[in-house]
Amino acid sequence: MRSGATAAVELRPRARGSVSYDTKRPSTAQSKAFERICAYFARELLDEELPATILTFDRSVALPSTFHPDRWSPRMGGPRVSEISLNPDLFRDLTKKKLAMTLCHELVHLWQHVHGRMRSRESYHNVEWSEKLLSIGLVPSDTGRPGGKPVGQRMTQYAVPDGAFEKALARMPKTLALPFLGREARRTKTTDRSKSKFVCLRCGDQAWGKPTLALDCRKCLASFVLEEGGGSGQFSSDGLDDDHGSRDVVGDAALGPVA
């Protein structure tokens, strides 16, 4: 190997279908993997060309992912570039399916920003966004459960069994994966397991209490929902069950945190 050349370093024994990347350039490896995953789902599910986005990481918001339209401007001029931001503290424990659902949520925001015809106020998930998400095999729900509202300020989703999303996920190459995961977990108390965590669907405020409580937020007149895993004092990565979705808010914050 010539002097100055960079070698790819494997963190684990290489096996068929394993992920290989250059650990000496972690930012490049992470961004390229993100771009490949987004391109795969855009091609398989949205059937329309989408512009590339800039990937950022933000631990300050209580959401796994956020979308910011036209957040970046080229220094030398040209079209603005949108941003998808991930919270490493919250997505580090996500399964492949949960992370894919989260990214598809944001890709539908990007699709609407580029191709949509129905504009809405910032951070609101309108009918056009909801119908597009449903068309790719993900059911929009403000609770992450069947029967939830399909539009609103904060939204999550659950997968249609054997729908377009699940089929695309099953075909997804094993090599499409983010090579690095955040290791700094959010510090929360874990001593009292008798209480559960509740999150306001609209403003994101949090409360703790017995899991049988029915709470409303007096500040914004929305309901608190019980967060899965709240009894352990942990903030669930995105709370999405593989079968039905999540009670947590997941999604975008362009704009302000939404899901």
**pLDDT at 7 (0 to 100):** 40
Neighbours of 42 (CB within 10 A): 20
Q: What are phi and psi of 35, to 5 degrees?
A: -65, -40
pTM: 0.66
Mean pLDDT to the nearest integer, 149-171: 93
- pLDDT more than 90, % of the chain: 37
Instruction: Classify each residue of 133-150 as buried b or exposed e, where b means 16 or more C-beta atoms within 10 Å of its C-beta.
Output: bbebbbbbbbbbbeebeb
pLDDT in tens, 93-127: 678 898 899 999 999 999 999 999 988 776 789 99
The answer, yes or no, to whether residue 137 has pLDDT greater than 90, is yes
156 SS3 class: strand
Distance CA 198, CA 15 (A): 42
**pLDDT at 222 (0 to 100):** 74
Nearest to 68 by CA among 57, 81, 78, 77: 81
Among 55-59, 159-163, 251-255, the minimum mean pLDDT is found in: 251-255
**pLDDT at 158 (0 to 100):** 94
pLDDT in tens, 178-203: 888 887 655 555 445 567 888 887 77
| Mean pLDDT comparison of 1-10, 16-25, 50-59, 204-213, highest-scoring range | 50-59
**DSSP string for 213-233:** ---B-TTT--BEEEPTTGGGT
pLDDT in tens, 64-91: 888 999 999 999 989 999 999 988 887 7
Angle at the Cα of 176 from the Cα atoms of 172 and 181, rounded to 5 degrees: 130
83 SS3 class: strand
CB contact at 8 A, 100 and 127: no
Confidence band, pLDDT 50/70/90 cuts, at residue 22: low
